[in-house]
Structure 1
């Protein structure tokens, strides 16, 4: 399953911190950001994903995040 999110993450260093936190919850997943995209895309490829949990994790670190259809 792949989920895609729009974020307001701007820096590569921020991406690394967020990916580290997300891997704590989704250890066997592939996670990456596309900061070149205007929506600062976050992609997560995992066997099971909770959009609410992903959004909550980013929000708790001060970032905006919303699931894209």
Structure 2
């Protein structure tokens, strides 16, 4: 009898934010700051997108309010995109 190996079904959570970030230097600073606050997150920007997308991925929950508050405290427009 053949025994099937257990399949790892770990899924990720993804949140996407619209921002007003206009350049790669600022985007890099934001990624570094957020990685300090949330080292378990995978964070990146898509500045080519019309929404200047900030994408955050995690195997656990994502602190959406913390990210929004970071934006507010740093005079950035960061808003959650509902999908």
Same fold (TM over 0.5): yes
Bigger-Rg structure (1/2): 2
Provide the TM-score with structure 1 as the length reference: 0.93
Deviation, structure 1 residue 3: 0.3
CA distance in 1, matches of 2:34, 2:72: 12
Root mean square deviation, CA, Å: 0.8
What runs of 5+ residues in structure 1 fail to find an aligned partner? none
Residue by residue, what CA displacement relative to the aligned partner does 1:26-51 show, whole Å, maximum 9, x if unpaired? 10211000000110000000122121
Q: Which has the higher contact order (CA 8 A, sep 6+)?
A: 1
Residue number among 41, 49, 67 corresponding to 1:37 in the alignment: 49
Judge conservation of contact 1:18–1:58 (CA < 8 Å) in 2: no
Q: Give the helix-richer structure, 1 or 2.
A: 1
Provide the TM-score with structure 2 as the length reference: 0.78
Q: How many aligned positions are there?
A: 69
